[in-house]
Amino acid sequence: MGVPDASGDLSSEMEVDAFRHLFPLRYFERHLSESIRPDARPLGRARDTTLALGAVASAHGSALAKIGSTTMLAAIKMEVMTPSTESPDEGCIAIDFHMPPICSPIVRPGRPAEAAPVISKQLSDTISSSGMINLKELSLVSGKAAWMAYLDIYCLDADGALFDAALLSAVAAFSHLQIPIVSLNDDGKIVLVSEEDEGAKLEKEPVNKEKRKLTLSSIPFSLTCILHKNYILADPTAEEESIMETLVTVVLDSSARLVSFYKPGGSVFAYTSAVKDCVALTRQRVKELQEILDEAISGMETD
């Protein structure tokens, strides 16, 4: 029986690696023809997903979300503001998405990533249109005081499907959010009660007597797919996105209602059959993500 030729195996691996870099599209299409991807996933399967709540101790709500290697850290800070005259009984949410140079070699120091403001706008539109948060829950005193929720999402590793991971981290951070206690100071202004003062007897009656959570409804989840010829690839990596440029993002809420459909250009038309297939894949993905979120919340309650 012959001894395996290690040098031959190494040479073969080098040839495959060289072919992948020189002809990336042909390399991927060879796999697609067999309904498999280079990372061994079937075309319609998303990458392994994990969620950790309470990742930032100094924030009022936070979460770390990972989809494959794509990693997002979301943190919420609450501040008291004066509500607008148009919406005296409502608070506000401000969302910022950040892509520091550490997240990807294509993000250069000193130059803001082009994708960051686009994803920020997408997140704001999605959370607003989904109706997940009733802004009236953020009201403290009608016309005088309300909560401003500052949500910052930091991309720590940008390996594709950035919006999906960012939205998941945002939803998880709001699920973890505890609205702090506030009280009236001597000037009649509403101020935050520090953790040191929570156990002490306050001079004035607190406006809200204990920390509370928001009531979230119609929670949105998303799935990004690549359309390439007759193929649909769910949850693409950064390499797949760079080679096959037609992306489609479907957002459904927890009751499978369509929240948004996003297709930023691309050479492949989104035919009705392809759209239906993408929605079907998203419907299945929503169930998976809801289970992951529920497990993370249950784990926090147990702790």
191-to-137, 186, 213, 261, 286 alpha-carbon distances in Å: 18, 10, 19, 41, 39
Q: Which residues contact 50 (CB under 8 A, 6 or more apart)?
A: 65, 66, 292
Q: Return per-residue pLDDT of the chain as tens, 303 residues.
A: 444 554 555 467 778 778 777 888 888 889 888 999 999 999 999 999 999 999 999 999 999 999 999 999 999 999 999 999 999 999 999 999 999 999 998 898 888 788 999 999 999 999 999 999 999 999 988 888 899 999 999 999 999 999 999 999 999 999 999 998 887 665 656 766 665 555 444 455 555 656 788 999 999 999 999 999 889 999 999 999 999 878 999 999 999 999 999 988 777 777 888 899 999 999 999 999 999 999 999 988 766
Q: How far apart are CA 72 and CA 163, in angstroms?
A: 10
Q: Is residue 130 part of a domain?
A: yes
Is 7 among the domain residues?
Answer: no
Beta-carbon contacts of residue 6 (< 8 Å; ≥ 6 apart): none
Mapping DSSP to helix (H, G, I), strand (E, B) and coil, where does residue 191 land?
strand
- CATH number of the domain bearing residue 247: 3.30.230.70
Q: Is residue 59 part of a domain?
A: yes
- CA-based torsion, 28, 29, 31, 36: positive or negative: positive
The answer to whether residue 152 is domain-embedded is yes
Structural domain contains residue 56 = yes
Question: Distance between CA atoms of 182 and 193, rounded to whole angstroms?
Answer: 5
For residue 62, which phi and psi values (nearest 5 degrees)? -160, 160
Q: What's the CA gap between 44 and 35, in Å, rounded?
A: 9
Nearest alpha carbon to residue 73 among 186, 190, 170, 199? 170
CA atoms within 13 A on the CB side of 231: 22
> In total, how many domains does the chain have?
1
* pLDDT for position 148: 95
The residues, ordered by sequence, that sit 6+ positions from 108 with a Cβ below 8 Å of its Cβ are 101
Residue 1: predicted pLDDT:
44
As a whole number of angstroms, the distance between CA 9 and CA 3 comes to: 12
Whether 193 is covered by a domain: the verdict is no
The stretches of the chain forming alpha helices (DSSP H) are 6-22, 24-32, 115-130, 162-176, 195-198, 238-243, 272-302
Q: Please report whether residue 273 resides in a domain.
A: yes
Burial-class residue 178 by CB neighbours within 10 Å (0-12, 13-18, 19+). middle
* In a domain? residue 296: yes
**CA gap 81, 90 in Å, rounded:** 11
Q: Which domain holds residue 296?
A: 44-177+214-302
State the Rg of the chain over Cα: 23
